[in-house]
A and B are shown apart, each in its own frame.
Chain A
């Protein structure tokens, strides 16, 4: 939370409508995302109850589990989910074999309602990836494959810059501020309706209306407890009774349950696609394609490893792997923050708020200034100097390294900061280097800020310390538990859930 976002929330309260807190979209959005809305049975450890899933908004596919406490039916659900939807969707992005250093042209993108559905995905992956396809507890071959991919997607969802598995509430609330709390923004229906209420209603009114779980069933995976009590208990009992009879009675009972589950999912389906539309209405930020490129590479690498017969992911990371991963996540977070600020003046405004950036007008520009470096001959290096007059507090100090988002490859060093007489403006001298071509004359027009131009300079840079070196897992020091034992598939991995 920042003061600018807090202010936007206050404005949303006053106006009755959500207010933008971003001017561009900072997440990737596929042309053909797969929407996945899972429901689970309350009280059980990851017992799937139903899912509405598909990449065509006109044709959602409903999968239902008729006795969620029956473990065989759970794995039948997993197999159907894998074979009819998820695996064909993923394979659709992995035709052919790209070169060692190339990536697939595109990658799958799964959209779920919120963070709880990401947890569901991770646990469904965990409960299926170790299953055996032979022996006493054999499951269909697609089940462990589904587990492999769901685990991969859920792991990527922890990467700040990844869009492979995207929770909709998180994506929307990153771009709009509502007039309610973050806790209430977790409700997809109320969040979407704050942003885009139906005609004749304010966002506030529409959102409040959407809090009635009878009219607006929760987006899952948890179901409405009243639905459980009033509808689900009876229908599951009916199926159990009809199982003895079989035939038409069982078909009828299953049909009734599927219809009831559909009522709990259809509105969320519409809201998910409305969310897609809202995100599409924002132009894509400049750094989004680069981040999606990282996702495509990651997907390509994992597909290659999978096709080579890679083992399922470990239950827990070893010490070296965990440390390396954490370090990567922190770096990605920082890259995301910098990229977003460069792409979006509203994000940059947050850094201006904290003094890490300032905006002003260029009043002088010495395009042919040269500096003789000690011990070097010749005309000296081209080091143009600009003067920026800022009408705001400037907290950067002389010698600070600064960058202008409009010229990201050009380095600047602050040479002088001087409040002007009268105190209305601050005069900042910045020496520039790089990004001006290789010519011997003055910096060509357009390669550096010109007099009269409004510019932003920030101490945020895209330059990072190199990632620390981590030892190979086999060399894990004893302080960190020593080398982890290599993974060997065990029989007990395959049958744990039946115990």
Chain B
């Protein structure tokens, strides 16, 4: 087993090539769990490839970035909340968790005598968090956790504070999107909930590894600290993440074991940019794109907000003519037919050959839709003049084989 693990590590290192491994964070795991069937993403993430760099080198730069203003705001708010031994935070936690603590100890685990080695930091975190509780309330800032995903351990460097009261931990997340009149941006809350679920699982793992009852010790209610209304005043809310815990657990379990994904890939496959001493890549972009293309992806429009490779995969799926490019709902409405060309051939009643039995129902649906559309657009001169809009008046041609 040990030998196999090393082999995998060596294989992943070769896939990554000369680039520095990219660190995992909860955001990435949450995104991966959102599309567990994507082998391409699993491999690239397991090999810690810097996807942003690869994507832009092969001509499909990621469509999203983070504004320096947003980052500055996030860290300013975190600093404010954690200032003075996290006084403000403690007051909020007392209120939201209903504790009668006068004070709590604040431990920063971010710095192990100036050592930034991840293994050391993790060991330190584990040592501190599994020690017998000596104080009633303790806050741990910047712990380093570990999470097993796609067959391999990933270190998480959360911006979280773990709060321990007696023997129970609560995961605390500080986010800078506002809660206005008791309502927050739902996508922000959803993202925070799934990320804190990843932290809860990682923390439970850590405690279980030390022979403790992690499930009982880490509470499924996490604390989200955000600014209130339009001011900088923080407010804490409880998030019940039981549903997210189940989702992450299920998706991570479903995720193909990375060994199995790597096994059929060519042995010399690598995503190396082949940088020279000055860091300038020498590899032909087309060659790298071919290498990425070796690992099958499963693209859907949801990838657009979540994965740096999305434009590359979208292009690939478009060239294939996949109906999935239009969204899952469209594919379902077309009776589950996977190819645009096929759906339209069936709609027009064109061959080749008879309709296979598994597509008979879908074919009936799209044929009927095509007939109704043609009728509605041709009927009573109801189609308005679209002179300025090329192609916009196109009607489906039934059975003529045109287009």
Of A239-247, A278-286, A289-297, A464-472, which stretch is located at the interface?
A278-286
Of residues 315 through 346 on chain B, the ones whose CB sits less than 8 Å from some CB of chain A are: 321, 323, 325-327, 329-330, 333-334, 340-341, 343-344
Mask for A6-48, Cβ within 8 A of B = 1, else 0? 1111110111111110011000000000000000011111100
Of A80-88, A107-115, A176-184, A375-383, which stretch is located at the interface?
A176-184
Residues of chain A within 8 A (CB-CB) of B389 are: 17, 195-196, 278, 281
Given the known A-B contacts A6-B334, A181-B325, A281-B385, are A43 and B178 also in contact in the complex, defined by CB atoms under 8 Å? no
Q: Are A346 and B370 in contact (CB under 8 A)?
A: no
Q: Are B392 and A14 in contact (CB under 8 A)?
A: no
Q: Are B384 and A282 in contact (CB under 8 A)?
A: yes
Given the known A-B contacts A41-B69, A228-B69, A499-B231, are A7 and B340 also in contact in the complex, defined by CB atoms under 8 Å? no
- Select from chain A the residue with minimum beta-carbon distance to B339: A10
In the complex, whether B168 has a CB less than 8 A from a CB of chain A is no
A349 to B365, CA, bound (A): 13
Q: Are B231 and A281 in contact (CB under 8 A)?
A: no
**Shortest beta-carbon distance, A356 to chain B, in Å?**
13
**Shortest beta-carbon distance, B226 to chain A, in Å?**
10
Residues of chain A within 8 A (CB-CB) of B64 are: 225
**Shortest beta-carbon distance, B176 to chain A, in Å?**
6
A283 to B394, CA, bound (A): 18
Q: Are B376 and A23 in contact (CB under 8 A)?
A: yes
Q: Are B334 and A10 in contact (CB under 8 A)?
A: yes
Q: Are B181 and A315 in contact (CB under 8 A)?
A: yes
Partner of B231, one of A10, A233, A359, A497: A497
In the complex, whether B382 has a CB less than 8 A from a CB of chain A is yes
Partner of B394, one of A19, A44, A213, A316: A19
**Shortest beta-carbon distance, B305 to chain A, in Å?**
8
In the complex, whether B301 has a CB less than 8 A from a CB of chain A is yes
Q: Are B67 and A225 in contact (CB under 8 A)?
A: yes
Given the known A-B contacts A15-B391, A42-B67, are A181 and B326 also in contact in the complex, defined by CB atoms under 8 Å? yes
In the complex, whether B70 has a CB less than 8 A from a CB of chain A is yes
Partner of B67, one of A11, A15, A229, A278: A229
Of residues 355 through 377 on chain B, the ones whose CB sits less than 8 Å from some CB of chain A are: 365-366, 368-370, 372-373, 375-377
Given the known A-B contacts A11-B394, A42-B69, A353-B368, are A183 and B327 also in contact in the complex, defined by CB atoms under 8 Å? yes
Q: Are A127 and B230 in contact (CB under 8 A)?
A: yes
**Shortest beta-carbon distance, A199 to chain B, in Å?**
8
A17 to B403, CA, bound (A): 13
Residues of chain B within 8 A (CB-CB) of A5 are: 330, 333
Given the known A-B contacts A43-B73, A497-B229, are A23 and B392 also in contact in the complex, defined by CB atoms under 8 Å? no
In the complex, whether A76 has a CB less than 8 A from a CB of chain B is no
Residues of chain B within 8 A (CB-CB) of A367 are: none
- Select from chain B the residue with minimum beta-carbon distance to A41: B69
- Select from chain B the residue with minimum beta-carbon distance to A227: B67
A349 to B375, CA, bound (A): 9
In the complex, whether A123 has a CB less than 8 A from a CB of chain B is yes
- Select from chain B the residue with minimum beta-carbon distance to A278: B389
In the complex, whether A348 has a CB less than 8 A from a CB of chain B is yes
Q: Are B304 and A184 in contact (CB under 8 A)?
A: yes
- Select from chain B the residue with minimum beta-carbon distance to A122: B180
Residues of chain A within 8 A (CB-CB) of B379 are: 345, 454
- Select from chain A the residue with minimum beta-carbon distance to B342: A10
Q: Are B325 and A45 in contact (CB under 8 A)?
A: no
Q: Are B67 and A14 in contact (CB under 8 A)?
A: no
Given the known A-B contacts A15-B391, A43-B70, A211-B63, are A180 and B326 also in contact in the complex, defined by CB atoms under 8 Å? yes
Q: Are B69 and A44 in contact (CB under 8 A)?
A: yes
Residues of chain A within 8 A (CB-CB) of B383 are: 20, 23
In the complex, whether B71 has a CB less than 8 A from a CB of chain A is yes
Mask for B232-245, Cβ within 8 A of A = 1, else 0? 11000000000000
- Select from chain B the residue with minimum beta-carbon distance to A226: B65
Residues of chain B within 8 A (CB-CB) of A318 are: none
* Residue among A181, A183, A315 with max Cβ neighbours from chain B (10 Å): A181
A348 to B385, CA, bound (A): 20
Q: Are B65 and A1 in contact (CB under 8 A)?
A: no
Given the known A-B contacts A13-B321, A45-B180, are A23 and B73 also in contact in the complex, defined by CB atoms under 8 Å? no
A195 to B178, CA, bound (A): 37
In the complex, whether B102 has a CB less than 8 A from a CB of chain A is no
Given the known A-B contacts A1-B333, A4-B369, A6-B333, are A20 and B392 also in contact in the complex, defined by CB atoms under 8 Å? yes
Given the known A-B contacts A281-B388, A497-B230, are A7 and B347 also in contact in the complex, defined by CB atoms under 8 Å? yes
Partner of B323, one of A10, A345, A359: A10
Across the A-B interface, the 9 shortest Cβ-Cβ residue pairs = A17-B391, A43-B73, A43-B70, A42-B67, A6-B333, A181-B301, A45-B178, A225-B65, A345-B376
Q: A7-B369, A181-B325, A278-B389 are in contact. List 13 more A-B contacts (CB 8 A).
A: A3-B369, A10-B334, A13-B321, A20-B386, A126-B180, A180-B325, A181-B327, A182-B301, A183-B301, A213-B63, A229-B65, A349-B372, A359-B375
| Chain B interface residues (CB < 8 Å from chain A) | 63-74, 176-178, 180-182, 227, 229-233, 301-302, 304-305, 321, 323, 325-327, 329-330, 333-334, 340-341, 343-344, 347, 365-366, 368-370, 372-373, 375-377, 379-380, 382-386, 388-394, 396, 403
A sample of 23 inter-chain contacts (CB < 8 A) reads: A4-B372, A5-B330, A5-B333, A7-B343, A7-B369, A10-B326, A10-B330, A10-B343, A42-B67, A43-B67, A43-B72, A45-B178, A183-B301, A183-B305, A202-B391, A211-B63, A225-B68, A225-B70, A229-B67, A233-B68, A316-B181, A345-B377, A349-B372
